Amino acid sequence: MKGRREDLIRLLEAELDVLEGGGYGRSVREPWKPRPMFQHSVVCINHWFVPDHPPECHEGCVLLDFVPKEHRQERLPCHFIPLNEAGETVASLEQTGDEERLQEAVKQWLRTMIQRLKEAPPEEPEAEEETPY
């Protein structure tokens, strides 16, 4: 699944570019309310938010592999990815109210994951299924 890894690297790099460029900003409708990290971002499968449509965070999410198994059924599983050795997560840092610290932790996590993915040994190609003719 070489293509999958390359796609993931590109998505994580795009997310990092957005955050380094100032982030997603606040909602025009609710400028007092912080925007949840990753929600409706370039890495989020719910990026194109459809009102009254439930989020589908549990299927097809590119970040789900980074989420500990015990948190994969949370409403926003990506908020439980350990961002550093201290085990801080988006959820735990959001509770502090320190948006700058949260963004810095996420940016550092993104840099680390991008580097690890780039340095990882090549993946074995998947066996192609034979098509019966």
Distance CA 16, CA 119 (A): 18
Split at pLDDT 50, 70, 90, the class of 131 is very low
80-128 confidence digits (pLDDT tens): 999 999 999 999 999 998 888 999 999 999 999 999 999 988 776 655 5
- Whether the per-residue pLDDT at 133 is higher than 50: the answer is no
CB 110 within 8 Å of CB 12: yes
28-70 confidence digits (pLDDT tens): 777 777 677 777 677 776 555 556 656 566 677 888 899 999 9
Under DSSP, is residue 48 helix (H, G, I), strand (E, B) or coil?
Answer: coil
CA proximity to 24, closest of 10, 37, 33:
37
Instruction: Tell me which amino acid residue 86 is.
Output: A
- Whether the per-residue pLDDT at 26 is higher than 60: the answer is yes
Instruction: Tell me which amino acid residue 39 is.
Output: Q
Distance CA 9, CA 12 (A): 5
- Whether the per-residue pLDDT at 5 is higher than 70: the answer is yes
